[in-house]
Chains A and B, each alone.
Chain A
Amino acid sequence: MKPAPFTWHGPRTVDEAVAVLAEVGHEGKVLAGGQSLIPVLAMRLAEPAHLVDINAVAGLDRIVVDATGVTIGALVRHASLERDDAAAAAQPLLRQALRLVAHPTIRNRGTTVGSLAHADPSGEMTSVLTLLGGTITARSARGERTIPATEFFVGPLESALAADELAVSAHFPAASAGTGSAFVEVARRHGDYALCGVGAVATVDPAGAVTGLRCGYLSVSETPLTVDLTDAWNSGDDAAAATAAAARAAVDPLPDIHATAEYRRQLAGVLTVRAAEQAVAQAVQRVGTMGRDNESGHNEEDRSA
């Protein structure tokens, strides 16, 4: 379990990094946290001739929280984002999902953008980015472009990044007023890849009625799957069963040595209802809080002023 020979590159700036990538093309791999790449190299499942180690690149470790949402640089570790209170306030789903990403030691080193670039459909953050309608910004010697999540994840372990591109940041939109979110999953062991995971974003009106319910899935489709379940959720007496059934119908899981496809499908249904209930409850609470704020004379504009 020793990697094949490779040339190590240690750029100090994004420009240097993309210059190297332009030069080495398909022979190159970007190394950030290394939590997926290093085992792959050690097992010689991949033998890139060049490793472009961006850990010393300046300016990629920032978390920027503004009215639009949370933007993170390519070197922001999962753990940093998980612990960032401003990020959690702007988009609660981030922390809700990040605490389920592998183990603390892996989160300390692994980067969220690296995980997105890895495009593993069993990764929590790929699912979150898609569910929230986020974007990835990629830079190359040719210029910079911003790619919506829906276009970024092309297939299992396959992203829209070109060989000469570096994913420099990811943007997660802020939670809008009247929304709540939740993230639940079932894994064989704590911190393992989930057999199935579900993120939910619910929107309620001031009266508490659910006006939107969208769920994002992991491990049950080839690319991150997002499903609008608003109608099922509002379908009447047995809405929970209808929602679960809709979720089961939407997913397309594969069997493996840990679980059958049927079991994963069952989980998709069960976890959808659990996530939806939590998300709706949170949305109702946030609407309620907002209402009380309004009554006491502090509306949204006042708070942001």
Chain B
Amino acid sequence: MVTRYFGTAVKRTEDLRLTTGHGRYTDDVGTGPDGEHALEVAYLRSPHAHARILDIDVTDALDVEGVVAIYTHEDLEGAAGEPLPVLIPHPGLHAARTGYALAKDTVRHVGESIVMVVAENRYLAEDAVNRIRVDYEFLAPVVGIEASRAAASTVHDDVPDNVAAHLVQERGDARAAVAGAPHTLEYDLSIERSASMPLEGKAVHAKWDADDASLRVYSSTQASTSVRAAIAAKLGLALGKVEVIAPDVGGGFGVKIVHPWPEEITVPMAAMRLGRPVKWTEDRREHFISAAHERGQEHHVRVGFDDEGRILGLDVTFWHDNGAYTPYGIICPIVTSTQLLGPYKPANYRVEFSSVYTNTVIVTPYRGAGRPQGVFVMERTMDRIAQYLGRDRTQVRSANFILPDEFPYDQGLIFQDGRPLIYDSGNYPDQLTMLKEMIGWDEFPALQQQARASGRLLGIGLGCYVEGTGPGPYEGAHVNVQTDGSVEVAIGLTSQGQGHQTVFAQIVADELGVDFDKIRVVTGDTRRFGYAVGTFASRAAVMSGSAVALAARKTKAKALRVAADVLECNPDDLEIESGLISMKGNPSTSIPLGQVAVLSNPLRYAFDEAAKAATQFAKPADPDKPPVAEGEEPGLEGKDYYSPPRSTFASGMHAAIVEIDADTSEIAIRKYCVVHDCGNLINPMIVEGQVHGGVAQGVGGALYEVMAYDESGQLQNASFMDFLMPYVTEVPRLELGHQMTPSPLNPLGIKGAGEAGVIPVAATIASAVEDAVGLRIDAMPLNPSKLFELRATATALTTNQVREGLTP
């Protein structure tokens, strides 16, 4: 393979279209001049966190002119009226509960949909929603982990302790190791809720073809093939009668991997019943109260270590707030419990978690998916050990690193893909060396001293992580060479703006030997590729990228076979460059790839000039052989799948210098450095973009974003005015360093890059703020008001010291 595009910062093919208003999102479907106007939907959503529905009166709503239909749970037939699926069952998830497409008799969080109104437009639908009257019997809401654990009230009648899942994993005997260690520490750490918050919320557009009895659904999803299967199952349709397309999707960050969302069932159902296209586009308030959140966890840590800071035993217990239901299972806490280990090798490790119900929006993966919490726990632990021993924080980390010659390294746990947690490759000591140099770690104390002399509070901190990326089970790809020499590539995995059209074209261009601009990539359209898993867990490049490479290789092999026949030579003597197949060392003997595509499809009918060459009288043929040879298929195409034994493990380290305003406690990030290892880079520019975006979201999680629920379960900041996503003015300029340790697990040596940037930011900022103000930071996010409070009460903080050691 000649690498012309792989590893190059090729400009994104998507961008001209997306940045000039020519994207086509779900809400745009059918809105062109010839589009068929879709009916629009609004939902009545529960204003209460926990209540029994006694009566629903829609009489007044039906009077609104333009209302076409109103549905409640009673109108859902068959499987559509049953609970939504538990997508990822797990033996530890002993009390899984899910909601309904429309609430049946009880609502368990503010925002749960109760009534669906279909009208000529969204304005009228909302007018009608406002006229619906629901009688509720109020039930006690359970808000927050503490209330859930106390279980004075329950979220589900039949789950008396509010515990959905409980899981323990252990390597060695951590508790004995802590007990026998020379030094021990014990403390609590917590992380608050945040959310994915894609610019485009969810959206569903459905069109029913009554004559063909088939359904076409557009959904702003990260998993179109599985949405298709879910719709078919829920609405009683044959899979072959359902098409699901994820058109341009305005960001996902995890929330759109959940499916089927209630709306993905009710919107198609309405389209089928009404015989007209129906669409629903989520507004921002709906997204806040009825999509999904993540991150809320509380952790209790006990750690035992030696004089060098080597961890002898680590014993972590944590509580994960999963909200009202568990449709996505316990992936997030499993990820926390395993990825907490980062680049380290504690001698003994025990982790135990409980996933608990609360009357709040469901919790499902958001970029990072449990890792920011785990990394926060481990990195706070490293900092505490360093402080206790009076050692440099990087020294303690180094003492615990898995070393380059220890790969593959088996952590002795089961990962979120049900496979062993075995790290495939990495070089953590080198990474730390790079990072220290970039941030100026060794020079910082002098700088800090100097600043302090003039009343300025500077601090430095770091955070390290390992991220299991690219889990299976599989992805596939189809590569199809057209008779004009262009190439159609189809994958089932969806794109939310990451640049899939660009990077997969880069891979095909190199593997097949065609020019980049001759390649078109289609993603997430079940009409084009029916088998896929989805876009999550930083897996698109690893999984689909590998599948695309394998499919391109198959295509190339066929192209060379057909060309060798024509050129009467051995396929091994041929090469392809810029779409031209030629004899190695004899470029005058050649045939264009498009011509091979023509010849690979024996024809009866010459529909155009080029096709003549493949028709039956075009040239003499062996009368005893069939036109399509045994074992061959017509057409120049290749399809293949990639299914890895387990995940591949990317890694990285961040460092920050922060300045705290001594008077206002404002926190400014003065310098931010990232060293990042995702194996071989397909497109460095896109990887950097991913890291930048990830760090921006990480800054949100570190300093700005919370889901402010009050005790009655009302989300007080369900708008962009009060939910503070950082603006570009709040995100620091990044300095980025790439390290490349290729993965041995896949044909391209790549690891996932999508989530990495977000993972260690909260840990890094906490470390730096702690260094600046000399006070323990045990909870994130942090804001100036909280930091002011912490500093104001600092004199009373001797309790911190009391907790440093286990009570003798």
| B501 → A minimal CB distance (Å) | 30
Complex Cα distance A43/B721, Å? 13
- Cβ-defined partner of B704 (8 Å) among A39, A188, A193, A267: A188
Contacts known (A1-B285, A189-B729); A263 close to B788, Cβ less than 8 A: yes
Beta-carbon nearest neighbor of B663 in chain A: A270
Restricting to B107-165, which residues have a CB under 8 Å from any CB of A?
122-123, 126-127, 130
Report if A258 contacts B (CB, 8 A).
yes
Check if B722 is an interface residue, CB within 8 A of chain A: yes
* A191 adjacent to chain B (CB < 8 Å): yes
Main secondary structure of the interface of A (DSSP, over half): loop
Given A189-B727, A257-B706, A263-B785, are A4 and B127 also a contact pair (CB < 8 Å)? Answer: yes
Q: Are A263 and B285 in contact (CB under 8 A)?
A: no
| Tally of B interface residues using CB under 8 Å | 31
List residues of A (228-273) whose CB comes within 8 Å of B's CBs: 257-260, 262-263, 266-267, 270-271
Looking at the assembled complex, report how far the CB atom of A305 sits from the nearest CB atom of chain B, in whole angstroms: 46
Any A CB within 8 A of the CB of B616: no
The B-contacting residues of A in range 161-217, CB under 8 angstroms, are: 186, 188-193, 195
**In the complex the two chains form, what is the Cα distance from A188 to B784 in whole Å?**
8
From 52 to 93 in chain A, residues with beta carbon under 8 angstroms from any chain B beta carbon are none
Question: How distant is A47 from chain B, measured CB to nearest CB, in Å?
Answer: 9
Q: Does A44 contact B (CB under 8 A)?
A: yes
- Chain A residues with Cβ below 8 Å from B722 are 257-258
Give the docked Cα–Cα distance between A2 and B286 (Å). 12
- The 8 A CB mask of B640-677 against A (1 = contact, 0 = none) is 00000000000000000000000111100000000000
A297 within 8 A of B: no
Q: Contacting A4 at CB < 8 Å: which of B130, B724, B789, B792? A: B130
Q: Does A3 count as interface, using CB distance less than 8 angstroms?
A: yes
B83 at the interface (CB under 8 A from A): no
Task: With A263-B788, A270-B664 as known contacts, state yes or no: A257 contacts B717, CB within 8 Å.
Answer: yes
Residue of B whose beta carbon sits closest to that of A267: B664
Q: Does B716 contact A (CB under 8 A)?
A: yes
Let me know if A2 and B664 touch, CB within 8 A: no
Given contacts A3-B123, A4-B127, A257-B717, contact A262 B789 (CB under 8 A): yes
B193 at the interface (CB under 8 A from A): no
Q: Does B28 contact A (CB under 8 A)?
A: no
How many angstroms from the CA of A195 to the CA of B784 in the assembled complex? 10
The answer to the question of B730 belonging to the interface, with a C-beta cut-off of 8 Å to chain A, is yes
Interface pair A258/B785, CB less than 8 Å apart: yes
Contacts of A260 in B (CB 8 A): 785, 788-789
**Bound form: Cα–Cα A258–B781 in Å:** 12
SS class, residues of chain B in contact with chain A: loop
Tell me how far the C-beta of B124 lies from the nearest C-beta in chain A, rounded to whole angstroms.
9
Q: How far is the CB of A4 from chain B (nearest CB, A)?
A: 7
- CA gap between A192 and B716 in the complex, in Å: 17
Chain A residue at minimal CB-CB distance from B123: A2
Cβ distance B232 to chain A, nearest Cβ, rounded Å: 32
Q: Is A143 an interface residue (CB 8 A)?
A: no
Contacts of A4 in B (CB 8 A): 126-127, 130
Chain A: minimal CB distance from B483 (Å): 49
Distance between B178 CB and nearest chain A CB, rounded to angstroms: 37
Cross-interface CB contact of B727 among A3, A44, A191, A262, cutoff 8 Å:
A191
Interface presence of B308 (CB below 8 A): no
Number of interface residues of A (CB under 8 A): 26
Asked whether B783 is an interface residue with its Cβ less than 8 Å from the other chain, the reply is yes
B283 in the interface (beta carbon within 8 A) = yes
Answer yes or no: B284 CB below 8 A from chain A CBs: yes
- How long is the Cα–Cα vector from A43 to B127 in the complex, in angstroms? 12
Instruction: Give bound CA distance, A267 to B716, whole Å.
Output: 24
Indicate if the CB atoms of B122 and A2 lie closer than 8 Å: yes
Q: How far is the CA of A5 from the CA of B124 in the complex (A)?
A: 9
Cross-chain contact A1 with B127 (CB below 8 angstroms): no
Closest beta carbon of chain A to B455's beta carbon, Å: 13
Known: A1-B285, A263-B788, A263-B789. A190 touches B130 (CB 8 A): no
A–B complex contacts, Cβ < 8 Å, 24 sampled? A1-B285, A2-B126, A3-B123, A5-B123, A44-B130, A186-B664, A190-B729, A192-B724, A193-B721, A195-B784, A195-B785, A257-B708, A257-B716, A257-B717, A258-B724, A258-B783, A258-B785, A260-B785, A263-B665, A263-B788, A263-B789, A266-B664, A267-B664, A271-B664
Binding site for A on B (CB under 8 A): 122-123, 126-127, 130, 283-285, 663-666, 704, 706, 708, 716-717, 719, 721-722, 724, 726-727, 729-730, 783-785, 788-789, 792
Sample of 15 more A-B contacts, CB < 8 Å, known A4-B130, A258-B722, A258-B783 = A3-B123, A39-B721, A43-B285, A43-B719, A186-B784, A189-B729, A189-B730, A190-B727, A195-B784, A257-B722, A258-B785, A259-B785, A260-B788, A262-B788, A270-B663
Contact residues of A with B, CB < 8 Å? 1-5, 39, 43-44, 186, 188-193, 195, 257-260, 262-263, 266-267, 270-271
